[in-house]
Amino acid sequence: MIPIEEIRRAREVIFVDSIRTPLVRLNLPDSPAEIYLKLETLQPIGSFKIRGASYAVRQASPEEVSRGVITASAGNMAQGVASVARTLGVSCTVIVPENAPETKLAAIERLDGKYIKVPFDRWWQTLQETSYPGVEGLFVHPVEDERVMAGNGTIGLEILEDLPDPDVVLIPWGGRRSEHRHRERDAFFGTDGQGLRRGTGNGLTAQSIVRQGLDSNRRLYAFLRRWRRRENAASQDVAPGPRAS
């Protein structure tokens, strides 16, 4: 669990690399709920990953950073680390899987980073070992570095400031340690594209809702209707029946 104080500290640090993105209401006809979008696509690299990358690199000691930075990523985290490294004037090396999109690789190079393309198994080994032979520098793990998590957690602070009492927050995620619930009474869901997951898990699924974004409004509506029906049912008090005499 990342302390809320750490997330607040992260917000004070990352502003030099990232922006506070708006939370805007999505006006859809016949929507079963009020839907708001956190526009992280407006970040300098087009992704929220700049938040975690910024905090992880800037919280490291000058001695660590002076040797350069390294990460293993298929694209967005690589861009975040490369962007911060360029600002600090240090080198950035990214270990990428051999199937990484060319658009992502070109983005790394535009940010003055260099990449090493390896087979998927070797890429995964790099994540496990947090190092790569012959490459020195501070390793920024894309999903298991607590400083990365704290930086990403600043999104939650901003959501709750703009919308203090949300019913549900849908969070796209891909790492094993990506789920986090800020308050017991709030429902934070993460999805890896295979379904919706809540802290302890439940039977409510919505295949590909976040992975497909809003290209399929039908799936999003179906999930929200099911969620609303379940919440309404849970809040209804069942009156006790008459006692037998």
Would you say residue 92 lies in a domain? Answer: yes
Confirm if 97 and 74 have CB atoms less than 8 A apart. Answer: yes
192 DSSP assignment: -
Could you tell me the residue range of the domain that residue 196 belongs to?
A: 165-231
At residue 189 the predicted structure's pLDDT band, cuts being 50, 70 and 90, is very low
Q: Is 64 inside any structural domain?
A: yes
Q: Are residues 213 and 148 in the same domain?
A: no
* Count of structural domains, the chain: 2
Phi, psi for residue 170 in degrees, rounded to 5: -95, 125
Q: In this structure, are 48 and 74 located in the same domain?
A: yes
31 & 70 share domain: yes
Among candidate residues 31, 149, 104, 220, the one with its CA nearest the CA of residue 140: 149
- In a domain, residue 12? The reply is yes
| Residue pointed to by tokens 């094993």 | 176
| Burial readout 68-82 (b: 16 or more C-beta within 10 A, e: otherwise) | bbbbbbbbbbbbbbb
Domain boundary among 113, 130, 163: 163
Task: State percent of the chain over pLDDT 90.
Answer: 60
pLDDT band for 59, please (50, 70, 90 cuts).
very high
Assess whether 131 and 221 both reside in one domain. no
Q: Residue 243: its pLDDT value, please?
A: 47
- Are 116 and 95 in contact, with CB atoms under 8 Å apart? yes
Based on the domain organization, do 25 and 103 belong to the same domain? Answer: yes
Domain annotation covers residue 244? no
The predicted pLDDT at position 33 comes to 82
176 belongs to a structural domain: yes
Question: Is 207 found in the same domain as 106?
Answer: no
The CATH number of the domain holding residue 159 is: 3.40.50.1100
Q: Is 126 in the same domain as 190?
A: no
Residue after which a domain boundary falls, among 114, 130, 163: 163
Residues 112 and 223 placed together within one structural domain of the fold: no
Structure tokens at 190: 């993460």
Same domain, 83 and 173: no
- Asked, for residue 242, whether it belongs to a domain, the answer is no
165 vs 119: which has the higher pLDDT:
119
Residue 241 lies in a domain: no
pTM, whole model, 2 decimals?
A: 0.74
Q: What is the pLDDT of residue 207?
A: 34
Residue with tokens 């999930």: 223
Residues 42 and 155 in one domain: yes
Do 157 and 171 lie in a common domain?
Answer: no
Query: 26 and 140 share a domain?
Result: yes
Where is the domain boundary, 163, 180, 200?
Answer: 163
Least confident of 164-168, 183-187, 227-231: 183-187
Residue 188 in domain: yes
